[in-house]
Structures are given as structure tokens and as C-alpha cells.
Structure 1
Amino acid sequence: MSQTEETSVTSSQTTAPPTDESGAVPPAIRAAASWSWRMLLIGAFIAAALWLFTLLKTIVIPVAVALLLTIMLTPVRRVLNERLRLPRGLSAGLSLIGLIVVVAGLVTLAGQSIANGFADLTAQAISGFEELWAQVSATFGLQDQLNSYSQDILDQLEAQQGAIVSGALGAAATAGSLLVGALIALFCTFFFLHDPRGIWTWIVGLLPLSSRERVNQAGRRGAVTLAAYTRTQILVAAVDAVGIGIGAVFFVPTLALPIGILVFVGSFVPVVGAIATGAIAVVVVLVSNGWVAALIMLGVVLLVQQIESHALQPFLMGHAVSLHPVAVILAVAAGSYAAGIVGALFAVPLAAVLNTVILYLNGHDKFPELGDEDALPIRWRAADAPPIPLRLRRTPGVMAETAVTDVGVDEDRDPSEGGQKR
């Protein structure tokens, strides 16, 4: 073959189109496809988690409530345990009993206030409704239509007796589920207070050795975020309850305490809860004292909401959970859509904890002052137990003797020495 022919063959080989088909796909398309299948997997995981939550909500919800109660009661347990020198189990039990006593006392006081003021409120409401209806009927001649509607309602009630009975049975089953959930929440709260580190160590110990310490440190920071959110939300709810309750004292003094308790509980659902409970307070004042008093009460509610939204939420809640108000509203909306009131209640703390944990796992530590010296102990030994000498297999045929004190040692114990593996 001549030199010219060789050059021709070489140039034809170098200019031939690539046989790899991926080279024909633009990089942007490849990147979009890569992101797409990852997002699909994440969406499938979230859907599976929601399905599992729906299936096990009788257990998951009480455990979540127990976590919040544990965060609230931990300072009380520490005072009893560390300052008063009470045993840890007794401190946890007294903290839980104190919570039950406080809740029972508030419910009793609210029940008495409702019993004292509801009769007068009911009479005023019925009287006002009858007067309004008499005026409307006289003006538009609706008395005959009212009698017809009343008969239709009675006929519908007689036709739906079976549905009413089944609904009552369903309400009884729901009450049973609530009782079981309350018992689970109290049981879990006691053990979360009594041995939180042991439970967390057992959970993290189920993970591979290489990821235990990172998960432990991420979990510590998530717990700090949850504690900050809980304390801040208690303060915000207390401000809402006191402000609206003081306003209600001037119009419905016998119902001011129940309204304050209702506002306090409802304020744990960010944004939505305080608005809904404030609206209930306005309606109660409207029924009992008329339009002028209701407008004044509405002004009080709006003033309290402005203080919350412009002073408390941006500074306290924003610093505690580092979530933008838009993220808070979207989290509440998504939680309420997925799981109703329970979802709205736990959406923001869950989002805050996930934000802290994911940021830490990606290299951004929101709480660097915590450090990483708090390593987890070995699951089958107490945290304060003295070190014990063990023979560890480092290389085949070579045995070394060391002392195992924490999770930083990642070799297995030698079965020939009578030890057990982690």
C-alpha cells in the first residue's frame, strides 16, 4: 500500500463518527435524566413512608407526641435528678405525674367555667336566633317554609337511623383508639425520660459501623432543633392565650379561661391554629354581647396576631428552626393535606429537624458548639463502665490486646476468646 493510500485510510478512520450512542445525547438531557430517576426514587420513598404512616398511625402519632412531651419535661426531670438527687426513674415518673396533674387541673377548671357560663351563653344564643328568625319570617313570610323544612328534617332523621347508629359505633371505636394512643404516649414518654441515651444508642447501633457516628451527631443536632422549636412554640402559644384570654375577660368572663386554653392548644399549629381559635373567640363574643363587642374582640385578636407574626415568629421561631415563613406555611399546608390536624401539628417540627439533619450530613453544621466528642458507647455495656481488655483481630494471624470503651473501635470481638460480636 502506498503512502498516499495509508494517509487516506488514516484520515477516514479519524473522522469516522463515534459508535457510542451516549455521545449523541446532549449533556443537559443526560443531567435531566439523572436527576429525574433520583427524584422518582425520592418520591417513591416519600409515598411509601406516608402509606406506612397511615397504616401505623395509631402507633406513630403517640410516639411523636411522646417525643414532644419528653422535650417539654426534660428540664423538670433534670432538676429532680441532678439538684434534688432523686433516682432517674423516680424523676421521670414524678415529671410525668406532674404533667398529668396540671393537664387534669386545667381541664377541670375549663369544664367548670364552661358549665357556669354555657347555660347563659346558650340562652342568649337561642334568644338572639329566635328574635332574628322572627324578624326575617315577618319580613319575607318564611313561616310556612320553616314548617316544611322542619318536617323534612324529621323525615330524614327517621330514614337515617341506621347510619346514625353506625356513626355512634364508629365514634366509640375512635374513642377506644384515642385511649390506646394516650396510654402508648404516656408509656413512651416515661422511658424516653428515663433512658433516652440508651434508646438512641440501640437505634443507632442497628446501622452500619461506618455511619453510626455521623448519624449520632446529626441526631444530636436534630434533638437540639426540636427542643428549641418546642420551647419557642410554648412561649408563642402562651402569649397568644394570655392576650386573647385577657380580651375575653371583658366580654365573657366565665368563658375566658376555656378560650385561653383553646387558643394555647390551637397555637401549636403554626399560623392556622391561632387564627382558627381567635375566630372562635370572636364568635363567642358575638353571640353573647353583639356586634360592637365582637368587633372589639376581633381587634384584640388581630393585635395579638400582629405581635406574634411581626415580633415572636421572625425572631424566636426563625432563630430556633431557621425556616422561612413561606416554608412554614407550605409545611403546614402539606401536613394538613396529608394527615389532617395531626399533620399540621407535626409538619413544622419535622421540617425543622430534617433541615438540620440534612444540612449536617452535607457538611453544614448549624450547632458547631456541640462538637463531636460525645461518641456513643457500645450497645451492650453501660456508658460509665470501666474499660475491659479485649483481643481484637487486626490482621490475619496477629492478635492485639486493647481496651474497648466506645463505638470508635470497629473491629469484631474474637469469638475464640468467648466474647460476642457487636
Structure 2
Amino acid sequence: MSRLGRTSARARQVWRALRKNPYLERVEQARHRNEDPPPPEPPPVDDLEPDPEADPGIPRSLKVASSWAWRTLVIAAAVIGVLYLADILAVVVIPMLISLLLAAMLQPLVALLVRAHIPRSLAAAVVLVAGLGTVAGVLTYVINQFIEGVPELVANVQRGVQTIQTWAKEGPLHLEQAQIDNFFKQLSDSISNWLAADPTSAAETAGVTLGVALTTLTGLFLVLFTTFFFMRDGRRIWNFLIGMLPTAATEPMVRAGNASWRSLVSYVRATILVAVIDAVGIGAGLVLLKVPLAIPLAALVFLGAFVPIVGATVSGAVAVLVALVGDDWVTALIVLGLVLAVQQLEGNVLQPILMGRAVSIHPLAVVLAVGAGVVLAGIIGALIAVPLVAVLNAGVRQLRMKPSPPPTEEPAEESPPTGTVTA
């Protein structure tokens, strides 16, 4: 090969090496990025498709309304289906929901015993038996107080009826004794006829009573067993249910479940504390005023506090009525003022401080939830409606929140290249 050919081949090798230099490639990429991209060519007029939103035949508002309508119908159908299944399985669903409330109330005690190196199964059993013993003792005391106070209340009612008869006879009405006796006789006969059992339906009544007793007994055993296993294996049961979901839904559902459980525990603790304060405050006032059935009325106030707003109103009205019938209208007014003061303390101080934002629900939502619970499941529905709404509220809010990204380490500064480019 001649000298000129070798020089030309060497020049081509040097040029190829220079083209493969990474610094030159970066310069070329930067030059191309700085250049403005050519504008896209407009599509031909014949290929343009008509915009369905611009169809003059159907207004856009009607399309939006129809979209909302069918989606709302689908959601309503799903809710109705769930309620229908819950009604069919009410013997199982209602005890399970009550067990969740009891487990949320007793779980802190189980955790305390577990931290004291007691096996979880034994701790759950001890807490459950102790809770049953406490409830049985309180019920026994309240029932005994009720039995002891009924004769005094009946005597006060009789005196009140005699006072009404005297007022009707000697007051502005000037009724005759025969008319008064006839009125009370008709009232007594109406009550007796309403309470009297029809001999033809005695068998049906006995069958219904037996069915209700069996259903109640079954529900009680389900509540006991379910509460025990919720306290012992609650975390494992939830992890098992979450494990059946797709992988992408596992982490959001874990966060939603934890938030819902914290909300339920906060609700139950706050409700119990508020119920104790209400019962002690109103019960002490009834005892000082010597109102008949003061202890049973305090127990009624305690139970009524588990149904927010509605339960406190009903139990307070019963206390005022008993004070009116058992004593006089002055005592009834004092009891009314006491009930209103305790309810204001509960609504404006206790619940905002104890429950906080974890179970913050608007009063209108509480009233509507209690009303829907009464319509769907009676007293049990009123009891579980508000905690169910609180749990759903906390879970949905957690699902709507985006998880905060994990902290990332700051990238280390790149060391300058060892080689240099010289002009």
C-alpha cells in the first residue's frame, strides 16, 4: 500500500473515533434539542371526525345529567342489594357488628394483659368473662332498684290521678263525678282490650315468642364467640381478608382499615366516657331531688348516650316525665334544666375534645343515620348506625388521600470526568 493510501485509512479511523466520542454526541443532542421542531402537518379535512360533544341534537347538560343518573342508579342498586343480603343474614350480621363495638371497647384491656406477658387467648377470655360479670352485676342492681322504686311511683301516680280528678270536679270544668268515673273506666277498658290476648291467636303468639327467644339466644352466643375471636385474632382476620384483594389494592386497604379501626376505637371510648358523665350528672341530680326510680333512670341515660342526640333526648324526656308524674311540675322543671345543661356540656365540650377530628361527623348526618338505622333495624340499627358512618367516613377519607412518597436520598454529586477536551 502506498504512503498516501495509508494516510487516508488512518484519517478515516481518526474520524470514526472522533464521531464515537461521547462529548461530541452530547453536543449534537444539545444542538438538536435547541432547534425548534417542525410544526405538525394538519390532517386532511376529509379525515376529521365530528365531535360528539358538539352534536346539536342533544344538549351537553342532558348528557351530563344522564351520565350521573345511570351511575347513581347503579350505586343505589348496589346499596339496596347489600341491605337486602344484610336483612336476610340479620341473625349473623347484627351480632357481628355488635361484636366489633365490644371488641373496640375491650381490646385495650386485652393489649394491656398481653404486655404483661399473658397469652392472648387467656387475656381475651379473662376480659370477656370480666365484662360479662360487670354487666350482669350492674343489671342486677338496676333491676332491684327498679323493683323497689315501682311501688312509690305507682302511689305517686295514683295521687296525681286523684289530683286531676279533684281539679276536673272543682276547677273551671265543673264536671260531675259520674262523668269523671266514666272517662277513666273507658280509658282502663281500652288499655285492657289492647293488652288482652286473642284466644284464637294464642298459638301464633306463642310461636312468635318462641322464635324471638331462640333468635335472641342465638345472637347472644354469636356475639360472645365473635367478640372473643375479634379480640384474639382481629389482626390476622383482617390480613387474611386483605390478602384476597389484588396487589395494587392491598396497601390502600391496609391504610383504610387502620384508620377505620382507630376511628371506631376513638368513638367507643369517647361514647362510654360521655355516657358515664351524663349518667353520673343526671343521676346525682335525680337522687338529690328524690325523684322515684333515680338509679334506673340514670342507667337509661347511660344506655341512651350510645345513640347520639336522639338517645339523650329520649332518655332526658323520660326522666322529666317521671319527675312530673312522681313529684310535681317544679321538680320536673328542675330536672329539665339539669338535662339541658348536661346535654350542652356533652355537645359543646365533651364530644369535640374526646372524639376530635377522628370521628368528626356533622349533626345532620348523625340524625339521618340514626333515623335510617331505626327504619332498617329498629333499636339495634340506631345503636350501630353512627359508628358505622364514622368507620366508613374514616376509611373513605383515607382512601382519597394520596400516600406521602418515601424520603429519597439526595443524589451524590457527579465527579468531573478525568479527561478534558481542548480546543
* Alpha-carbon distance in structure 1 between the residues aligned to 2:190 and 2:266: 55
Structure 2 SS opposite 1:195: helix
Q: Which of the residues 175, 200, 203 maps onto 1:140?
A: 175
Quote the residue 2:86 is aligned against: 53
Structure 1 residue 328 and structure 2 residue 361: aligned? no
Mapping of residues 60-79 of structure 1, within 5 Å: 60-79=93-112
Q: Is the CA contact 2:374–2:380 (under 8 Å) kept in the aligned structure 1?
A: yes
Q: Which of the residues 33, 49, 52 maps onto 2:66?
A: 33
What's the TM-score, normalizing by structure 1?
Answer: 0.76
Quote the residue 1:227 is aligned against: 265
Structure 1 residue runs without a partner (length 5+): 1-12, 372-422
C-alpha spacing 1:17/1:285, structure 2 compared with 1 (3 Å):
same
**Aligned residue identity for 1:86:** I
* Alpha-carbon distance in structure 2 between the residues aligned to 1:36 and 1:111: 54
Quote the residue 2:148 is aligned against: 116
Deviation at 1:123, TM superposition (A): 2.0
Deviation at 1:21, TM superposition (A): 9.0
Mapping of residues 305-344 of structure 1, within 5 Å: 305-344=343-382
C-alpha spacing 1:97/1:117, structure 2 compared with 1 (3 Å):
same
Deviation at 1:144, TM superposition (A): 3.8
Quote the residue 1:201 is aligned against: 239
Q: Is the CA contact 1:262–1:277 (under 8 Å) kept in the aligned structure 2?
A: yes
What's the TM-score, normalizing by structure 2?
Answer: 0.76
Quote the residue 1:270 is aligned against: 308
Quote the residue 1:174 is aligned against: 212
C-alpha spacing 1:156/1:264, structure 2 compared with 1 (3 Å):
closer
* Alpha-carbon distance in structure 2 between the residues aligned to 1:263 and 1:79: 30
* Alpha-carbon distance in structure 1 between the residues aligned to 2:311 and 2:269: 17
With 310-319 and 14-23 compared, the bigger mean Cα shift is at 14-23
* Alpha-carbon distance in structure 1 between the residues aligned to 2:114 and 2:133: 20
Quote the residue 1:90 is aligned against: 122
* Alpha-carbon distance in structure 1 between the residues aligned to 2:195 and 2:382: 34
**For the aligned residues, what is the CA RMSD?**
2.8
**Aligned residue identity for 1:140:** L
Structure 2 SS opposite 1:140: coil
Where relative contact order (Cα < 8 A, 6+ residues apart) is larger, the structure is 2
Q: Provide the identity percentage.
A: 40
Q: Is the CA contact 1:62–1:182 (under 8 Å) kept in the aligned structure 2?
A: yes
* Alpha-carbon distance in structure 2 between the residues aligned to 1:34 and 1:343: 33
Q: Is the CA contact 2:292–2:322 (under 8 Å) kept in the aligned structure 1?
A: no
**Aligned residue identity for 2:111:** R
Quote the residue 1:402 is aligned against: none
With 235-244 and 204-213 compared, the bigger mean Cα shift is at 204-213
Measured against aligned partners, the alpha-carbon deviations of 1:152-178 in whole angstroms (never above 9, x if no partner) come to: 766777783334663454234223212
- Compare CA radii of gyration and give the structure with the larger one: 2
Measured against aligned partners, the alpha-carbon deviations of 1:131-164 in whole angstroms (never above 9, x if no partner) come to: 4235436732323455466567667777833346
Structure 2 residue runs without a partner (length 5+): 1-44, 407-423
Structure 1 SS opposite 2:79: helix
* Alpha-carbon distance in structure 1 between the residues aligned to 2:318 and 2:187: 28
Quote the residue 1:302 is aligned against: 340
Q: Is the CA contact 2:152–2:292 (under 8 Å) kept in the aligned structure 1?
A: no
